[in-house]
Chain A
Amino acid sequence: MNQEVALELRREHEATEKTIFGFWLYLMTDCVLFASLFAVYTVLRHNTFGGPNGRELFSLPYVLVETFALLTSSFTCGLAMLAAQRKAKHEVLFWLGVTFLLGALFLGLELHEFSKMAAEGNSWRRSGFLSSYFTLVGTHGAHITIGLTWMAVMGLYVRSRGLTDSVRKRLILLSLFWHFLDVIWIFIFTIVYLYGSLNV
């Protein structure tokens, strides 16, 4: 009897492992999507068509605040996972809430920056540089939007169902997704904003 239970547990554990690996494969293919957008941006970044370049458009202190909002949210997402490991439901909800608010702050700052640029006549229609800029950073922002929606749904699940195995498995996938988006942002911060302000 005991052996059967152990076997069943092992089978379920392996199924969980497979799900996590499958999600990991998705993240790796998503990397390829971002890589191609980075390639397009790198090729087009000097093609400003008489319009403003990155140095004139980007405000580094503003972007630094955005970066810290996202980086801190990645950390608090990790704290939520530690709480989930201890099965501390209220802590999970608290840290998920903090992560959500920081993510929403990041998205709000980004959308404000986008709308300000568009209002000044520097939308994606202005130049090849701006088309590739909006596509790259906008795709990251779209991922963040999906992540926030997912996080809100997981918050409701944790509240109503508690930290069951199935809920915790999904929390692991969500945390992988969220950390991954912060990893992508490192390169947006460096290649788009820092390089843009140096004009290299």
Chain B
Amino acid sequence: MNSVVSEHGDQKLTYSKYTAGFVGSVVLTLTAYWLATHGTASGNTLAIVLGVLAIVQFAVQMLLFLHVGEERGPRWKLGMAGMMLVVILILVGGSVWIMNNLNTRMTPQQMDQYLKSQDSL
């Protein structure tokens, strides 16, 4: 007789997936670390490369540790993960965009004036 929780959600767990996820994450982490400490690339280029490495490692761990996308039938877990990514994009992207915009539009003099006008209240 089959057991109720013989499977992790729908899929079978395998040793090779965890090992691949672990080795992949170690390599990506070390690459990012090495580039940040010994790399010769300049600030912004390096930031983009490190960002890409983080996103690749995110994908590796989501697929191999959290088993996203392995479920059968309607893929609710995958759908919710996609929804989460959209929310994060709007939340983080929007905040950073708006706050940077405010920052560049506000000169130090304006900031001083603003602070003084608040003091007098």
Instruction: Show the binding face of A for B, using Cβ within 8 Å.
Output: 5, 9, 12-13, 16-17, 20-21, 24-25, 28, 31-32, 35-36, 38-40, 42-43, 60, 64, 67-68, 71-72, 74-75, 78-79, 81-82, 85, 165, 168-169, 172, 176, 179-180, 182-183, 186-187, 189-191, 194-195, 197-200
Please give me the 9 A-B residue pairs with the lowest Cβ-Cβ distance, nearest first.
A78-B18, A39-B95, A190-B54, A75-B22, A179-B65, A35-B88, A28-B84, A43-B99, A12-B4
With A75-B18, A194-B36 known as contacts, the answer to whether A183 contacts B3 (CB < 8 A) is no
Would you call B36 and A198 a contact (CB within 8 A)?
yes
Q: Find the B residue at minimum CB distance from A194.
A: B36
Contact with A along B5-26 (1 / 0, CB 8 A): 1111110111100110110011
| Chain A binding surface SS class | helix
The SS class assigned to the B binding surface is helix
Residue B121 CB within 8 A of the other chain: no
Which of A39, A75, A172, A197 contacts B91 (CB under 8 A)? Answer: A39
Q: Knowing A13-B4, A17-B9, A42-B95, say if A198 contacts B43 (CB, 8 Å).
A: yes
A60–B1 CA distance with the chains assembled, in angstroms: 52
Chain B residues with CB under 8 A of A179: 61, 65-66
CB contacts (< 8 Å) of B13 on chain A: these are: 78, 81-82, 85
Instruction: List 9 additional A-B contacts (Cβ < 8 Å) besides A32-B84, A39-B96, A43-B95.
Output: A9-B2, A20-B9, A36-B91, A43-B99, A71-B22, A71-B25, A179-B65, A189-B32, A190-B54
Chain B residues, Cβ within 8 Å of A38: 92
Residue of B nearest to A8 (CB): B4
- Of chain B, the residue at the smallest CB distance from A190 is B54
* Closest B residue by C-beta to A29: B84
CB < 8 Å: which of B9, B47, B88 contacts A172? B9
Contact A35 B29 (CB under 8 A): no
Q: Is B80 an interface residue (CB 8 A)?
A: yes
Contacts of B5 in A (CB 8 A): 13, 16, 165, 168-169, 172
B33 and A183 contact, CB distance less than 8 A: no
